[in-house]
Amino acid sequence: MVGEVQTVHPRPPVDRPRELSRVVRATQGFARGHASLPLPRVVRRNPVPTALAWERYPVTDLPDQAAVARLLDLDAGELAWFADTRGLERTAGEALRHYRWHAVDRPHGVRLLAAPKPRLKEAQRRLLRHVLAPVPVHEAAHGCVPGRSVRTAVAPHTGSAVVLRMDLEAFFAGIPAGRVHGLLLGPAGLPEPVAHVVTGLVTTVVPAQVWRALPVPPDVDARDRHHRLGRRLAVAHLPQGAPTSPALANLVCFRLDRRLSALAASSGARYTRYVDDLTFSGGRSVGGDRFAALVAEVVADEGFRVNAAKTSAVGAGRRQSVLGAVVNVHPALPRRERDALRALLHNCATHGWAGQTRGRDPDTFRDHVLGRVAWAGSLDPVFGARLTALAERIDWAAAD
């Protein structure tokens, strides 16, 4: 038996005790000995000491689950409670759930948001800083990546003959706990027991009661998407709303981004991804059915699905819009939005902001306006500077 185990693991797998256990149980020597001996009586299960086998990136040293608990300021019982590895969220009552669930109607189907409650959210933020942030994402990923933005995502596509936009269906729900666990074992380099508990902290299942309360769309295609989403949400997946989900999704998509970047390069095209939005640009071949089919094939091979209803290819003779920005010449707001924002700022400065809210909450109207100015400036700094000058003329203290 020892020889069989050493063939698989020449060195002690200090980071993977469960894998070692599976290897031992699969040996012929174990099978013979197990058959001839009475079943042991378990008195106490002692945790197996583990350690990081290698450190590829500067991830915080978490050799065991006790270290995770210390990092998160939780005791062992609290760690087990928040790391819902058994999927208890599926049947828990609202008071015992770890997430607040909220459905948002979208043109192509419902989007189910899961906001973690405060203590779990703080734990996830710490995991983001100490475990996920040190691991690099692919250069094609721009969404929720420090130093990158919508502008960096759309800039490579300016002045292109054709812009192809594609969308990944049920993006976060389509990333199951198994893929997260593999990522934590691999690139992050966590020991197996640590990866197991961290996976439980950053994934969840939708409560059956929440899902049953959602209406089923009457349209055939929308109904099919609804049922596919329900199947994905019923198993542990990345919750859309957790602070860790965008970073984990970007890391899980590393190979997808690498393959799609290579596919684009083979056609002389460019590729970027912003969360679930895929954008390609280049010559006329990018707009052909063959190229889109190759993209969909790679996407499916990587465990995702293209939302065909949101695929579009636009030539240079029409308005090429990517992530809300027009990219025919340089990244910019659509003309109608530019004019409307400029007029809003002028009216606020001239006539007072209180009369321009148009039903919006007055308490948040200032943030809304300045947010739109910042968004415009992130796309077009010159235009943004003009808008900022207009915004500085507004007397926000005056309510009348």
pLDDT for res 110 = 81
Query: In whole numbers, what is the pLDDT of the chain averaged over residues?
Result: 91
The answer on 253 and 306 residing in a single domain is yes
The answer on 243 and 346 residing in a single domain is no
Determine, yes or no, domain membership for 108.
Answer: yes
Determine, yes or no, domain membership for 48.
Answer: no
Determine, yes or no, domain membership for 398.
Answer: no
Determine, yes or no, domain membership for 371.
Answer: yes
% of the chain beyond a pLDDT of 70: 86
The strand pair at 312-315 and 270-274 is best described as: unpaired
End position of a domain, from candidates 315, 346, 380:
315
Name residue, tokens 């508990």.
Answer: 197
373 compared with 40, residue with greater pLDDT: 373
Model pLDDT for residues 326-371, shown as the tens digit of each residue: 999 999 999 999 999 999 999 999 999 999 999 899 999 999 999 9
**For 319-323, what is the mean pLDDT?**
96
The answer on 113 and 256 residing in a single domain is yes
Determine, yes or no, domain membership for 365.
Answer: yes
The answer on 18 and 69 residing in a single domain is no
Model pLDDT for residues 178-217, shown as the tens digit of each residue: 999 999 999 999 999 999 999 999 999 999 999 999 999 8
The answer on 311 and 350 residing in a single domain is no
Give the CA distances from residue 239 to residues 78, 86, 171, 227, 290, in Å, rounded to whole numbers and listed in that order.
20, 16, 10, 18, 34
pLDDT for res 263 = 98
**Sign of the dihedral through C-alpha 3, 7, 12, 13:** negative
The answer on 178 and 107 residing in a single domain is yes
The answer on 270 and 309 residing in a single domain is yes
Determine, yes or no, domain membership for 173.
Answer: yes
The answer on 121 and 83 residing in a single domain is yes
The answer on 229 and 154 residing in a single domain is yes
Q: Which domain holds residue 30?
A: 1-35
pLDDT for res 348 = 94
Q: How many domains does the chain contain in total?
A: 3
Determine whether 97 is exposed, middle or buried from the number of CB atoms within 10 Å of its CB (0-12, 13-18, 19+): buried
The answer on 135 and 1 residing in a single domain is no
The answer on 343 and 378 residing in a single domain is yes
Determine, yes or no, domain membership for 103.
Answer: yes
Determine, yes or no, domain membership for 245.
Answer: yes
Q: Which of 5-14, 51-60, 388-397 shows the lowest per-residue confidence on average (mean pLDDT)? A: 5-14
The answer on 352 and 218 residing in a single domain is no
Model pLDDT for residues 92-105, shown as the tens digit of each residue: 999 999 999 999 88
Do the beta carbons of residue 101 and residue 113 sit within 8 Å?
yes
